[in-house]
Amino acid sequence: MAEGLPALGWAARDASGHLSPYSFSRSHQKDDDVTIKVLFCGICHGDLHVIKNEWGNALYPIVPGHEIVGVVTDVGSGVKNFKAGDTVGVGYFRDSCRTCDSCSNGYENYCPILVLTSNGVDRDGATTQGGFSDVLVANQDYVLHVPESLPPAGAAPLLCAGLAVYSPMVMYGLNAPGKHLGVVGLGGLGHVAVKFGKAFGMTVTVISSSPRKREEALERLGADAFLVSQDPEQMKAAAGTMDGIIDTVSAGHPIVPLLELLKPMGQMVVVGAPSTPLELPAFAIISGGKRLAGNGAGSVADCQAMLDFAGKHDITADVEVVKMDYVNTAVERLERNDVRYRFVIDVAGSQLQGAAA
Ligand SMILES: [Zn+2]
Ligand SMILES: [Zn+2]
């Protein structure tokens, strides 16, 4: 406990997922590291799964958080692209092996020994702790520049939610003006996908299970159309009209009606992770030669490109900023989707000090 950089955060100790104050230490800054004072950190659905051990891989105690925006306070002697005072971000992972096929080809997000920002295993064997804490040390190659023009709280969710939708949109050509994009689900990921789609100059249709979010989608987020997936008539009328679909829904739902919305050769990308298997009869993709892919996060280069694009188009997530002592309530509310659209913790503005270890 003596060595290392002292850090204060909030951690979950067991599968109750209850978060409480936690003192720990981080490894000292190395030559190629950046030390970051955390300003804001988003609360992602992934955090929720991890702290409750729903993915069966919890390494307690866990300091969650991988949608981090902060300010650089110090850099190692080998750091070229960052200096003290820079606004920076850290996302879902903060290191990778750098030598495998994925790393060599610029999609290090699929590296088999990816070092996750939270609840991961660092290259020295230590458990990684995330952004629900005051300070973070990260390798310069995995740190992002956050455009100064973006409000840091609204920028934080871009580091995971934003990347998760932007990356496949670019990869599958769902960023071309005039193309028709369907966005399934209007939550943390979906609302950002709508914003990116509109900024790319696409026609964007939001697909939701209930009509509740219609006005929000059309009037506030600027979507062009709104489809209620439970309404067979509406779905039928829109069949075969979409070039691509980004499915962000993390609760179990049928995908065949969504695939029917695609044009021939259309591309659907799954970015939400329901715990029940997808049901996919082969004919749903054979007829029309439709394609179905998954996507997990995105590369560091994609993430930087996404942030630069967001800066140019003033895209941020819609957030509800809360203090750290509200985090357990926020997690409960997130579980019942009671947030528009992302909770972000004002880490720097929270009293982390004085808490018992
Ligand atoms: Zn996430
Ligand atoms: Zn690798």
Q: What angle do CA 147, 149, 83 make, to 5 degrees?
A: 45
Number of domains in the chain: 2
Asked if the structure places residue 357 within a domain, the reply is no
Determine the distance separating the centroid of ligand 1 and the alpha carbon of 236, expressed in angstroms.
Answer: 33
Q: Give the number of C-alpha atoms closer than 13 A to the C-alpha of residue 134, restricted to the C-beta side.
A: 16
Instruction: Report the sign of the C-alpha dihedral through residues 75, 81, 87, 93, in that order.
Output: negative
Q: Is the pLDDT of residue 206 over 90?
A: yes
Q: Which residues contact 15 (CB under 8 A, 6 or more apart)?
A: 52, 53, 58
- Burial degree of 329 (CB within 10 A; 0-12, 13-18, 19+): exposed
Supply the range of the domain harboring residue 10: 5-160+317-346
How many angstroms separate the alpha carbon of residue 160 from the centre of ligand 1?
Answer: 5
Q: Token match 């951690």: residue? A: 11
Distance between Cα 105 and ligand 2 center (Å): 9
Half-sphere CA count of 54, side-chain side, radius 13 A: 15
Among 160-164, 211-215, 352-356, whose mean pLDDT is lowest?
352-356
- 11 & 150 share domain: yes
- Whether residues 122 and 64 share a domain: the answer is yes
Give pLDDT, residue 2: 45
E strand spans, 80-186: 87-90, 93-95, 115-116, 135-139, 144-145, 180-184
Measured in angstroms, how far is the CA atom of residue 26 from the centroid of ligand 1?
22
Domain shared by 169 and 25, yes or no? no
Do 14 and 104 share a domain, yes or no? Answer: yes
The answer to whether residues 190 and 270 belong to one domain is yes
pLDDT digits (tens, 9 = 90+) for 138-183: 999 999 999 999 999 999 999 999 999 999 999 999 999 999 999 9
168 plus 128 within the same structural domain: no
Q: What is the reported pTM?
A: 0.95
Query: How far is CA 44 from each of CA 41, 158, 159, rounded to the nearest angstrom?
Result: 9, 11, 10
> Is residue 110 domain-shared with residue 201, that is, in the same domain?
no
CATH of the domain at 152: 3.90.180.10
Tell whether 212 and 85 lie within a shared domain.
Answer: no
Give 59-62 contacts, CB < 8 A, sequence gap 24+.
59/119, 59/121, 59/127, 60/11, 60/12, 60/13, 60/14, 61/11, 61/12, 61/13, 61/22, 61/24, 62/11, 62/12, 62/118, 62/119, 62/129, 62/130
Q: What is the DSSP letter of 79?
A: -
Q: Do 253 and 282 sit in the same domain of this protein?
A: yes
Query: Of 279, 294, 309, which marks where a domain is finished?
Result: 294
- Mark whether 37 and 58 lie in a shared domain: yes
Contact, 347 vs 71, CB < 8 A? no
CATH of the domain at 219: 3.40.50.720
| β-pairing verdict for 68-75 and 33-42 | antiparallel
Can you tell me the distance from the alpha carbon of 228 to that of 210, in angstroms, rounded to the nearest whole number? 6
Residue 10 lies in a domain: yes
User: With pLDDT > 70 as the criterion, what percentage of the chain qualifies?
Assistant: 98
Calculate how far, in angstroms, residue 239's C-alpha sits from the geometric centre of ligand 2.
40
Amino acid at 247: D
Query: Is the domain of 16 the same as that of 128?
Result: yes
* pLDDT per residue as tens digits for the range 27-43: 999 999 999 999 999 99
Question: How far, in Å, is the centroid of ligand 1 from the Cα of 286?
Answer: 32
Contact 37, 84 (CB under 8 A): no
Computed over every residue of the chain, the mean pLDDT equals 95
pLDDT for the residue 216:
94
Alpha carbon 193 to chain centroid distance?
A: 11
Give 165 Cα–ligand 2 centroid separation in angstroms: 22
Whether 166 is in a domain gets the answer yes
Beta strand pairing status for 242-247 and 180-184?
parallel
- Amino acid identity of 214? R
pLDDT at position 275 is 80
**354 lies in a domain?**
no
Residue 302 falls within a domain, yes or no?
no
Per the domain annotation, does 11 fall within a domain?
Answer: yes
| Residue 288 forms part of a structural domain | yes
For residue 275, tell me if it sits in a domain. Answer: yes
**Dihedral sign for Cα atoms in the order 221, 223, 225, 231:** negative
CB atoms within 10 A of CB 1: 8
Q: Is residue 110 located within the same domain as residue 174?
A: no
Cα of 92 to ligand 1 centre, how many Å?
A: 6
By CB atoms closer than 10 A (0-12, 13-18, 19+), residue 23 is middle
